[in-house]
Structure 1
Amino acid sequence: MVPTPYRVGVTAEGVEPDGTTLFGDIGLDRLTAAGLSWEVMPPAAGHAPAPEDLEPYDAVLSIGHLQFTREVVAAAPRLRHVARFGAGYDGIDLEALADAGVVVTNTPDAVRRPLAASAVTLLLALAHRLLENHAAATSGRWSERGRYRGAGIAGRTVGIIGLGSVGADVARLLAPFGARVVTQDRPSARDRAAELGIDCLPLEDLVAQSDYVVLTAALTPTSHHMVDAAFLKAMKPTAFLVNVARGGLVDQPALTAALADGSIAGAGLDVLDPEPPLPGDPLLGLPNVIVTPHALCWTEDFTRDVASSCLGALIDVAHGRRPAHPLNPRALDVTWPTVD
């Protein structure tokens, strides 16, 4: 039987030894009040935690994007739960963890609106040429104010690739702006698209018709670098790309080239590949791109709601209750010890 108290390891990326995170205080004392103990783990030497660092823990609160593979969890037989502080789970082998009886949870409801709002923020900034108008005003070029007229959104086509909970919320937020919203025709998207009243198009038609292409898709082996040179060439030269999902969806050198030679009009990127970008990355110096540091959705409500969901899942699993958002529910077939 796993010894008590139930122990939670908090990954060290962006976390101080006292549990203060780059998001601020996420309320780890809630774990203590529920009878769980927690501590910050040693910093990972690479992309995955060392098996020996996982050995003391029943659960891991994964603040960053460490990889959890079959080999890692096989060497940590005590581990029963990986709780993602956020929605993304690329790098986590869900089937391997289910085989080992390790449930993985995330916080999709808490992330949905802040991330969708971030996508719309970038879209609006591009549509109204916010950065160019700001620079003209602050540098005394008031006489140029008619030079930076944006394309606007009304009557334009917005193509959303990835109609999950975030993509669907982007569509809802855009509804009052008078845009035509379309999405990629996939079996998993059809029912949701019908509910939202938006059209499903083959990917090539979506790319060719869209004035704004918004990426909210998951990063998988098949979606990696889906936005490549051919994809960008098929876009309108007046079109914009918005990515709030994962940097790996985009072939970044190809995007840099397309932005530099005017093949597309611009881009709004909250995610890059790699992160942080390499010093001197030419993408960062282009005038037609807005780049934010994978943090645009980190509002106060994001932190509050993600923390509440994530900590709630840790407490539920520790006490033998089904968590709200299991990504590999087959792992829940395992009977776990509970906290005394």
Structure 2
Amino acid sequence: MNRDYVVGLTSDAAEPDGSTDFGDIGLERLTAAGLTWRLLPAIPPHGPIPPSALDGVDAVISLGHIPFNASLVRQVPRLRHIARFGAGYDGIDPVALANEGVVLTTTPTGLRSPVALTGLTMILACANRLLENHLITTRGQWNELRGKRRGIGIQGRTVGILGFGSIGSRLAEMLGPLGATIIAASRSAGNSRARSAGVEVVDPLTLAERSDFVVVTASLTDQNRGMIDAAFFAAMQPHAYFINISRGGLADYEALRDALARGGIAGAGLDVFDPEPPAADDPLLAMENVICTPHALSWTEDFTRDVSALVMEAVITVSQGTIPASALARDALDPVNWRGAVTVGA
């Protein structure tokens, strides 16, 4: 007798009716495909998720950054697919999951333009000292401070993109018409992408030294956590800006606070923190030359539409016994023995 194919929706960013922090993610597409969805039990932010929460679940749509490891999925033999609503997979080892027969999919193409636009927004806001000029106006300091917070502009400036993947390369495309010079530092795959786009590849410290704007778009891994350290900030110029739109864990934020406090850099634009949310008394939140947003600046209508479509497509594809192109660590999945090769009715 056939059973339902059940998709669990993580409760860290969703309600029982299927509404989410991102808006309508199109759960009706699952229903139309004959799948059943349900909200998983509440868990602490960033997990961990107990195995019991996944009882009777074939797939999980992970809206936040919940860790899934090999030990967990071994205890849930029915689970065959984790579909991340986004590009990051912090706390998840794709190869370890693939070795257990579980598919991990992400949606990097849906994020590409919205997150790149977040980077461009931060660059323009910093270049024109938007926050400082906003405060001058709203505090009634028009007469005494008008024109005293002049920006540095974009044309002829150097933007260093740290992590030249899909998002970094899209940001470079957006910046090109504005007359900026682009340099990059990235892993080997990103370096190849940068060179083919005519972008000079340098080491991270050289990027820090030469950039008027440093924009972080790299993925967070165990290997690069905290790679943007005190030495990196010390290498930056006093007029330069640091912008992080990727993950807070990539940077030493105490070193960033120190660089800002001593005037080592001109300011920052931060859509991500470590931890999240930042403490209410974090000095970064009170600095007038630091733009802070709640890791959501890219959550536009375009973002929700495109990412939702990719997630639902992946879930439906796996439910039909096919490994989708968006699967990570595909080479580690045995096409015969992976869990999805067993039909739901078997």
TM more than 0.5 = yes
Query: What amino acid sits opposite 2:207 in the alignment?
Result: L
| SS of the residue 1:82 aligns to | strand
Return closer, same or farther for 1:44/1:122 CA change in 2, 3 Å cut-off.
same
Return closer, same or farther for 1:145/1:338 CA change in 2, 3 Å cut-off.
farther
Query: What amino acid sits opposite 2:329 in the alignment?
Result: N
Counterpart in the other structure of 2:27: 28
Taking the aligned partners of 1:177 and 1:63, their CA distance within structure 2 comes to 35
After the TM superposition, which residues 1-340 of structure 1 pair with which residues of structure 2 at under 5 Å, given as runs? 4-45=3-44, 47-143=47-143, 144-184=145-185, 186-329=187-330, 330-331=332-333, 333=335, 334=338, 335-338=340-343
| SS of the residue 2:306 aligns to | helix
Residue deviations 1:279-335 (CA, integer Å, cap 9, x gap) = 211111111110000000000010011101001100000012332311121336225
| SS of the residue 2:183 aligns to | strand
Return closer, same or farther for 1:129/1:89 CA change in 2, 3 Å cut-off.
same
Taking the aligned partners of 1:325 and 1:185, their CA distance within structure 2 comes to 22
Unpaired runs of 5+ residues, structure 1, are none
Q: Is the 8 Å Cα contact of residues 131 and 289 (structure 2) preserved in structure 1?
A: no
Taking the aligned partners of 1:114 and 1:275, their CA distance within structure 2 comes to 21
Q: Percent identity?
A: 51
- Mean alpha-carbon deviation: is it higher for 34-43 or for 192-201? 192-201
- Deviation at residue 339 of structure 1 after TM alignment: 5.4
Taking the aligned partners of 2:83 and 2:148, their CA distance within structure 1 comes to 49
Q: Is the 8 Å Cα contact of residues 14 and 22 (structure 1) preserved in structure 2?
A: yes
Query: What amino acid sits opposite 1:336 in the alignment?
Result: A
Aligned length: 339
- Mean alpha-carbon deviation: is it higher for 142-151 or for 10-19? 142-151
Q: Is the 8 Å Cα contact of residues 225 and 250 (structure 2) preserved in structure 1?
A: yes
| SS of the residue 1:114 aligns to | helix
Taking the aligned partners of 1:275 and 1:176, their CA distance within structure 2 comes to 34
| SS of the residue 1:172 aligns to | helix
Taking the aligned partners of 2:261 and 2:31, their CA distance within structure 1 comes to 53
Query: What amino acid sits opposite 1:200 in the alignment?
Result: V
Query: What amino acid sits opposite 2:121 in the alignment?
Result: T
Where does structure 1 differ by over 3 angstroms across 4 or more consecutive aligned residues? 337-340
Q: Is the 8 Å Cα contact of residues 164 and 191 (structure 2) preserved in structure 1?
A: no
- Mean alpha-carbon deviation: is it higher for 134-143 or for 50-59? 134-143
Q: Is the 8 Å Cα contact of residues 55 and 77 (structure 1) preserved in structure 2?
A: no
- Deviation at residue 185 of structure 1 after TM alignment: 5.8
- The normalised TM-score by structure 1 is 0.96
Q: Is the 8 Å Cα contact of residues 115 and 297 (structure 1) preserved in structure 2?
A: yes
Query: What amino acid sits opposite 2:223 in the alignment?
Result: T
Taking the aligned partners of 2:76 and 2:344, their CA distance within structure 1 comes to 19
Unpaired runs of 5+ residues, structure 2, are none
Query: What amino acid sits opposite 1:331 in the alignment?
Result: L
Taking the aligned partners of 1:42 and 1:185, their CA distance within structure 2 comes to 39
Q: Is the 8 Å Cα contact of residues 193 and 199 (structure 1) preserved in structure 2?
A: yes
- Deviation at residue 189 of structure 1 after TM alignment: 2.5
Q: Is the 8 Å Cα contact of residues 322 and 332 (structure 1) preserved in structure 2?
A: no
- Mean alpha-carbon deviation: is it higher for 212-221 or for 328-337? 328-337
Taking the aligned partners of 1:58 and 1:187, their CA distance within structure 2 comes to 35
- Deviation at residue 191 of structure 1 after TM alignment: 2.6
- Deviation at residue 186 of structure 1 after TM alignment: 4.1
- Deviation at residue 249 of structure 1 after TM alignment: 0.5
Q: Is the 8 Å Cα contact of residues 112 and 165 (structure 1) preserved in structure 2?
A: yes
Q: Is the 8 Å Cα contact of residues 110 and 306 (structure 1) preserved in structure 2?
A: yes
- Deviation at residue 139 of structure 1 after TM alignment: 2.9
Q: Is the 8 Å Cα contact of residues 127 and 152 (structure 1) preserved in structure 2?
A: yes
Q: Is the 8 Å Cα contact of residues 171 and 196 (structure 1) preserved in structure 2?
A: no
- Deviation at residue 227 of structure 1 after TM alignment: 1.2
Return closer, same or farther for 1:122/1:332 CA change in 2, 3 Å cut-off.
farther
Return closer, same or farther for 1:160/1:94 CA change in 2, 3 Å cut-off.
same
Taking the aligned partners of 1:185 and 1:18, their CA distance within structure 2 comes to 41
Query: What amino acid sits opposite 2:333 in the alignment?
Result: A
- The normalised TM-score by structure 2 is 0.94
